[in-house]
Structure 1
């Protein structure tokens, strides 16, 4: 395939879209989830150390999050008030002396694996990786290849939390898990293997819907800090402090799909049009124990009105003042405008932002086209950004459109990326969210089982 040829890239995106839509139109949510819930045997040049923390008892993190959601819920949309739960984690580190098919030592305890993992790190940096999967798929096991790459490239250790999945656990369950995962780094609860880690040694990373959760986490921390709130987590008092940086790939930050790029970039991306005509709402879609929910919803992740909530769709957030440096790498995706809008607003408020948009490349192209020059470039730039953030570097803001031919960057003015204001965006999101309707066959209780 010629990765410099735009027509080739568009044809490839169309093939991916056709295959993707065929699967999602014909496969139940339960069957889609099942393959992604695996826990693969650990092999190769990585250490994996697992631990589980109990449900917090002496804790205010949940109530503080719910208070923020209520405060920003201008339209009083009902939502599921998720409870805290026990959290399962995986540490990932690079294992220098292993070969591609080397199994992990069976005789080692999880704490000993962590000790060896930490012993091989070359940096005090910790990456909190928040993985994607439309909020409905995946576990840390699915992302070991990605996180072990980051561990090797940066010398860091990487932490992932098992996010609760939708539709079983709607917003804000996964966001609460991610919030508490960050707190777990700062103040390790019982059964943790690590010592407390300073926010200045932590960088958030992620992809796709995981980026949405990562930016949501930043908004939680920023808003709590402005309010002068402290957090009690497992009996330890924590001051809300942002990490050293955030670096994400193919960010999804507008769940209402309200920005112009959701239409204008349809030829170079993989999602259906219009976005609100979702496969799992169609009459022929196979039902299962997970879907439709009871009572029924019109969206896997949340009630439709909550798609416009700034903690669910961070592109609608009005204040990024005090945020850590931001780096985003994206294809020419349908979701690029909301990412650019975050960059535009954050830059105007004094935040360092860097965006690289790769011409003709679809959503999560770095997974689909692993051998493409664009993939090699974006992964290298991603790891470099993470490393620089951990060293306290705050780059001068820049936005580049990377041409497919020669990977030549064309620089754009950060101040004029998306000609919209925050109130306009918030209104757009709300209007678009109201197009998501519960189909009649859900209300009638018809089943395709």
Structure 2
């Protein structure tokens, strides 16, 4: 990074922090009685980074390289790296099944614009991750094979549950990776008493929708039906919980909606979805549950919480961030498109914006943690809708917390409690599914909780949501037309 950029960045942080400190001390800020000073400093830095000179002149390729960088594995975690092999087209009809579902779920009369991607060439990398007992925080992994590391994970005394958490990381579908999330998913594994399969799905913009959907489904099927030579054994669906944060949380719900659509379209009398995978006809059951934090269910970012909760968050609109990004070989795309993840024709598609799904009937139990953040309305609406359709939903909203607080602010009591509840829900989906019940709570900054009627967490209706999304979609079209890409 150039010295001038560093100096400018520091100057911005000092200026913003000085102003924020004065408002914090005088009590004139909305967060003055909600955040401690360390949180204020952290959030101020986040805000400068997301809209300041930190991004000015940086390319998307550089951002991806920085956030996906590998690092040495140390401490109380087992990490066994593996490759999930991709079947050849002649050995599967998975791609065609996904493309058919995309077309069937199209809510628009206009044609969808997307490229039909191949399965990941060479397969996908995953990391089997769990707690490593009896070692120090700085101790490196032993110099043994990946298979031996996997066996170490499987036999570790910290693994007390059969739950396997299939984790999809956040990063707006365009950055971050499994290395970024190793420590965090280990905490989820610790609280669940299980293990995590942490997925390095393909990143946009080079790999646009539905690449990530194909990747997620392929890994899920590979857990159920391991390809020859796999490190892992077959895992029953009732021992698998989908989990993720931010974009990864979106992907969890998209995969479940995809499976539900495959079931709805099935010609079998029992509506059990099937397809060919590694030249065998297999069923596609639903997982035991879904557990996510900070899910963006509306890609058009149009709901009222974006303005209402701005004081508690650092997220800013696409239209403010992307003019700062310098062009490179991967962005802007050729021809230009209005979003990194997908063409704008897909913005209101249920597999891109799950908030538009017409039905969640039959979905497995759901746990959602969300802050008082810009995309809070997404979670509140989906939680309410799913509960009304008979799905077991547990919703936790944490007062004054920003996007991804459980990951970004792990020292806070609210984050620690969220992670503990997250792991506990995953375990209960497998061990005590009959004990799960719908509930919604408002978690105050002082740690107390208020029970909420989940049918009243939002007044937004489906028609209003769709109308707001149309406005947001039009706004993004206008933004694209104004760019000189």
Tell me the TM-score range normalised by the shorter chain.
over 0.9
Are 1:116 and 2:116 an aligned pair?
no
**1:306, CA displacement in angstroms?**
1.1
Q: Where does residue 285 of structure 2 map in the other structure? A: 241
Q: Where does residue 312 of structure 2 map in the other structure? A: 268
User: Closer, same or farther in 2 for the Cα pair 1:262/1:321, shift >3 Å?
Assistant: same
Q: Where does residue 446 of structure 1 map in the other structure? A: none
* Residues 355, 400 of structure 1: 8 Å contact kept: yes
Q: Where does residue 447 of structure 1 map in the other structure? A: none
User: Closer, same or farther in 2 for the Cα pair 1:393/1:278, shift >3 Å?
Assistant: farther
**1:307, CA displacement in angstroms?**
1.7
What secondary structure is seen at the aligned counterpart in 2 of 1:389?
helix
* Residues 85, 124 of structure 2: 8 Å contact kept: yes
Q: Where does residue 390 of structure 2 map in the other structure? A: 350
TM-score after normalising by structure 2: 0.86
* Residues 190, 423 of structure 2: 8 Å contact kept: no
Q: Where does residue 279 of structure 1 map in the other structure? A: 321
**1:411, CA displacement in angstroms?**
2.2
User: Closer, same or farther in 2 for the Cα pair 1:154/1:285, shift >3 Å?
Assistant: closer
**1:35, CA displacement in angstroms?**
1.3
Q: Where does residue 50 of structure 1 map in the other structure? A: 81
* Residues 60, 325 of structure 2: 8 Å contact kept: no
Bigger Cα Rg? 2
* Residues 25, 279 of structure 1: 8 Å contact kept: no
**1:18, CA displacement in angstroms?**
2.4
**1:32, CA displacement in angstroms?**
1.0
Are 1:442 and 2:484 an aligned pair?
yes
**1:326, CA displacement in angstroms?**
0.5
User: Closer, same or farther in 2 for the Cα pair 1:358/1:285, shift >3 Å?
Assistant: same
* Distance in 2 (alpha carbons) for counterparts of 1:88 and 1:8: 39
Q: Where does residue 359 of structure 1 map in the other structure? A: 399
**1:166, CA displacement in angstroms?**
0.8
**1:90, CA displacement in angstroms?**
1.1
**1:289, CA displacement in angstroms?**
1.5
* Distance in 2 (alpha carbons) for counterparts of 1:433 and 1:156: 41
User: Closer, same or farther in 2 for the Cα pair 1:245/1:215, shift >3 Å?
Assistant: same
Q: Where does residue 16 of structure 2 map in the other structure? A: none
Alignment of structure 1 residues 251-262 onto 2, 5 Å: 251-262=295-306
1:152-201 CA distance string (max 9 Å, x none): 22221110221111111111111211111111110011331111111100
**1:440, CA displacement in angstroms?**
4.5
* Residues 187, 236 of structure 1: 8 Å contact kept: no
* Distance in 2 (alpha carbons) for counterparts of 1:221 and 1:245: 13
Are 1:100 and 2:142 an aligned pair?
no
1:309-362 CA distance string (max 9 Å, x none): 110111111211111111111110111111111111110111111111111111
* Distance in 2 (alpha carbons) for counterparts of 1:411 and 1:155: 27
Q: Find the partner of 1:386 among 426, 447, 467.
A: 426
- Comparing 72-81 and 218-227, the one that deviates more: 72-81
* Distance in 2 (alpha carbons) for counterparts of 1:377 and 1:33: 31
Are 1:370 and 2:410 an aligned pair?
yes
User: Closer, same or farther in 2 for the Cα pair 1:261/1:440, shift >3 Å?
Assistant: closer
Q: Find the partner of 1:403 among 444, 449, 461.
A: 444
**1:439, CA displacement in angstroms?**
4.4
* Residues 161, 427 of structure 2: 8 Å contact kept: no
Give 5+ residue unaligned stretches, structure 2: 1-20, 25-30, 267-272
Give 5+ residue unaligned stretches, structure 1: 444-449
**1:14, CA displacement in angstroms?**
4.7
What secondary structure is seen at the aligned counterpart in 1 of 2:442?
strand
What secondary structure is seen at the aligned counterpart in 1 of 2:181?
helix
Q: Where does residue 144 of structure 1 map in the other structure? A: 182
